[in-house]
């Protein structure tokens, strides 16, 4: 896989970044903030590296009601976007704008998402991974309910839809501008396909 230094050189060939800050070194990406204005994500594995091109293609066609980090450049194992300022979502924030964001995402034509490379959700694979990795970590009295939940996930009927894949609080940013009645405007930040937002369908 490409290293951060190589990705920086490819993403910004004529620029020497003055201020760099690593904010995330998770399983999938190394995330670097450049001068508080840009975000460089560098893939930790081939699956994530392949997903960057799909993410960029989808974002170029999606019309979303919240600020989203539009891809500036995409390369072999990296993606460069504008940084969206904000703090992680919490329950004090009005979630209605996030609902509109997800509704718009889910309404994107599945056939077009497939044509752009969005992978179909591997439901059976997910269930097997949870069964082998998560169930052994549960207390004995919890496993029966977990097994029933996995069986339900395996057999549930659904309409395919494009999903975000990782809508955790840390991936939904909120700005600091307060609206009337003390409600804050939610500002979303989409990320690369991952596990999450389990409306079954095509991950994007």
Residue 35 included in any domain: yes
CA–CA distance, 11 with 130 (Å, rounded to integer):
36
What's the structural domain count of the chain? Answer: 2
pLDDT of residue 93: 81
Q: Which residues contact 11 (CB under 8 A, 6 or more apart)?
A: 40, 73, 75, 78, 80
pLDDT of residue 138: 95
Quote helix, strand, coil % in the chain, to nearest 5: 40, 25, 40
Residue 91 included in any domain: no
User: What tens digit of pLDDT does each residue of 48-84 get?
Assistant: 999 999 999 999 999 998 888 889 999 999 999 999 8
Query: Among residues 61, 82, 103, which one ends one of the domains?
Result: 82
Residues 68 and 135 both lie in one domain: no
Query: Among residues 51, 67, 82, which one ends one of the domains?
Result: 82
Using CB atoms within 10 Å of the CB of residue 78, give its burial: 0 to 12 exposed, 13 to 18 middle, 19+ buried.
buried
CA–CA distance, 33 with 49 (Å, rounded to integer):
19
pTM of the model: 0.75
Please check whether residue 48 is in contact with residue 29, taking contact to mean a CB–CB distance below 8 angstroms.
yes
Residue 181 included in any domain: no
Number of neighbouring beta carbons within 10 Å of residue 169:
13
Please check whether residue 59 is in contact with residue 117, taking contact to mean a CB–CB distance below 8 angstroms.
no
Number of neighbouring beta carbons within 10 Å of residue 89:
22
Residue 109 included in any domain: no
Facing residues of 172 across strands?
188
Residues 66 and 130 both lie in one domain: no
CA–CA distance, 106 with 160 (Å, rounded to integer):
9
CATH number, domain with residue 30: 3.30.200.20
Residue 75 included in any domain: yes
User: What tens digit of pLDDT does each residue of 92-107 get?
Assistant: 888 888 899 999 999 9
Residues 9 and 78 both lie in one domain: yes
In the predicted structure, residue 6 carries a pLDDT above the cut 70: yes
pLDDT of residue 176: 55
Find where tokens 């290293």 sit.
3
Q: 72 is in which domain, residue-wise?
A: 4-82
Question: Which residue from 139, 130, 133, 141 is spatially nearest to 198, judged by alpha carbons?
Answer: 130
User: What tens digit of pLDDT does each residue of 140-150 get?
Assistant: 999 999 999 99
CA–CA distance, 85 with 39 (Å, rounded to integer):
11
Residue 129 included in any domain: yes
């Amino acid at each position: 896989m490409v290293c951060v230094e190589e990705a920086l050189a490819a993403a910004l060939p004529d620029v020497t970044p003055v201020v760099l800050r690593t904010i995330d070194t998770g399983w999938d990406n190394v995330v670097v903030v450049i001068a508080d204005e840009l975000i460089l994500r560098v893939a930790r594995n081939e699956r994530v590296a392949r997903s960057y091109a799909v993410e960029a293609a989808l974002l170029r066609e999606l019309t979303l009601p919240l600020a989203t980090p539009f891809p500036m450049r995409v390369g072999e194992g990296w993606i460069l976007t504008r940084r969206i300022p904000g703090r992680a979502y919490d329950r004090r924030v009005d979630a209605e704008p996030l609902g509109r964001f997800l509704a718009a995402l889910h309404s994107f034509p599945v056939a077009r998402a497939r044509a752009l490379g969005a992978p179909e959700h591997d439901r059976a694979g997910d269930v097997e991974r949870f069964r082998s990795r998560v169930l052994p970590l549960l207390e004995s009295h919890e496993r029966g309910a977990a097994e029933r939940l996995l069986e339900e996930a395996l057999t549930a009927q659904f309409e395919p839809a494009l999903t975000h894949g990782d809508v955790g609080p840390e991936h939904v940013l909120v700005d600091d501008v307060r609206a009337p009645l003390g409600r804050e405007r939610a500002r979303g930040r989409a990320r690369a396909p991952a596990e999450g937002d389990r409306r079954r369908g095509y991950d994007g």
